[in-house]
Amino acid sequence: MQTSTGTLSKRRRIFWLVPLIALALPLLTNPYTQFIANAMLIYTLVTLGFSVVIGNLGQLAFANTAFFGIGAYASAIASTNLGLPWLATVPLAGLAGAFGGFLASAAALRGIRLYYLAIVTMAFGELMRWFYTHTGVLTGGTDGLPVSRERDFGLALTSDTVQFYVFLIITCLLVAGTVNLLRSRIGRAIIAVRENEIATASLGIPTSQIIVTAFMWSGFIVGIAGAMFALHTGRVFPESFGLTQLIVNFAMVLVGGLGSVAGAVLGAVALTALPEYVRAFPGMEEIFFGVIVMVVLLVMPKGLASLLARVSPIFQQRYHRD
């Protein structure tokens, strides 16, 4: 028991070391590299939310991009059309994303599974994109919707550095929240649904509620990431939430490791940073993505997170998908 507690405590301390070190990052960056670092934090949350549904809950659902767009547009509409400060739009974006998660979970609750669920949820994402494009009065249509970046509770949010610190705090809170959720009774039930839904139900666990909860938590996280994305780019466009975005996010989950929180962080950081190195070679990015996903799946099917687990057992996660 002492060993287990000691390991847990050590893992928690190591977890907090990462953001502490990251605090010094702006000393080493220029506005471009800072922009990329900020994108890493956003995609960490997107990947984490995706991983909760696809890796931990075990549902082949691709509504992730829809949650991302819903959060981004909720934030942009609330800040630009309603005049709310961006920080106040963050919880709204999370709630809007959670509502998107609730809608997406309806398909899973109807017993739709596997490829059928994948198609239905992808259609949901495309439907949302159609909505953003064709409701110009609300969303700005194809011209996009600007996000107000005036001073926000005393913070100059136009600065990439200030954005970085705000994003870092939000990301840490949501990553810690997800870790705690997955460790909780609900988290164990989520994993149980993944392993055997019928057996889980036979134990008296309300599997429908568990599925809805996982989808809504995923939507909440990704919706907040959407609000961060809206601030990050300053303007949201429908094309930012299409199939390309979905493929990139899916690659991040696979490369990081399905169902692994550390993997979500690693996958997002790696696949946000590495394509920047192939910028100078137009057209190479698509090839790069394809090759890296194939290599990771062939060489380490559990993703980059499995490398960490090899370094030390303290990185092993019970809810990681084998």
Partner 1 sequence: MKFKPKKLGLLVGLALAATGSAAADETTGLTDDSIKIGVMGPFSGNASSYSKAEIGLMAFYQMINDEGGINGRKIVAVQEDTGCDPAKALAAAKKLIHQDEVFMLHGNSCSGAAVAIKPEIVDAGLPWIVAHAVSDTISVPPVENIFHGVPTGNTNGEAMAAFVLSKPDTKKVAIVEHSNDWAHSYSNPARAYLKGHGIEPVAELVMERGQTDATAQVLKLRQANPDFIIGALYEAETAIFLRDMKKYGLDTPVMGTAGTDLENTLKRVGDLDTVKNYFVLHPYVDNLDGPLMKKWADMIHKYYPDEELTNFSYISIGSGVALVEALKAAGPDLTRSKVMAELDKIENLDTGILSSTITWSPEEHRGAKSSAVAGFVDGQPTVLKAWNTPY
Binding site for partner 1 (CB under 8 A): 13, 20, 23-27, 30-36, 39, 133-134, 136, 141-144, 158-162, 165, 229, 232-235, 237, 239-240, 244, 276, 279-280, 282-286
- Sort strands 235-236 and 145-146 into parallel, antiparallel or unpaired: antiparallel
- The answer to whether the CB of 210 falls within 8 A of the CB of 84 is no
Q: Which runs of consecutive H residues, i.e. helices, occur in 135-159?
A: 136-139
CA distance 33 to 147: 22
Which one, 237 or 319, has the nearer CB to partner 1? 237
Distances (CA, A) of 298 to 16, 43, 251, 255, 288: 32, 24, 14, 11, 15
Cβ at position 246, least distance to partner 1 in Å: 14
Nearest distance from C-beta of residue 264 to partner 1, angstroms = 20
φ, ψ for residue 145, nearest 5 deg: -125, 120
| Number of helices (H), then strands (E), in the chain | 14, 2
CB of 129 to partner 1, least distance (A): 12
Least distance (Å) between residue 46 CB and partner 1? 12
> 73 near 140, Cβ under 8 Å?
no
Nearer Cβ to partner 1, position 177 or 242? 242
Nearer to partner 1, 113 or 235 (CB): 235
Nearest distance, CB of residue 260 and partner 1, angstroms: 24
Cβ 43 to partner 1 shortest distance, Å: 11
Our CB check for partner 1 shows the closer of 15 and 99 to be 15
Q: Which of 61, 115, 54, 121 is nearest to 321 (CA)?
A: 54
Cα separation, 185 vs 105, in Å, equals 20
Return the closest-CA partner of residue 53 out of 126, 108, 125, 90.
108
Return the number of the residue (177 or 234) whose C-beta is nearest partner 1: 234
Q: Which is nearer to partner 1, 40 or 98 (CB)?
A: 40
What is the nearest approach in angstroms of partner 1 to the Cβ of residue 133? 7
Crossing angle between the packed helical segments 160-183 and 261-277, to the nearest 10 degrees: 150
Give the residue with the Cβ less far from partner 1, 217 or 289: 289
Beta carbon of residue 63, minimum distance to partner 1 (angstroms, whole number) = 20
User: What is the rounded distance in angstroms from the CA atom of residue 91 to the CA atom of residue 78?
Assistant: 11
C-beta closer to partner 1: residue 39 or 74:
39
Contact 77, 253 (CB under 8 A): no
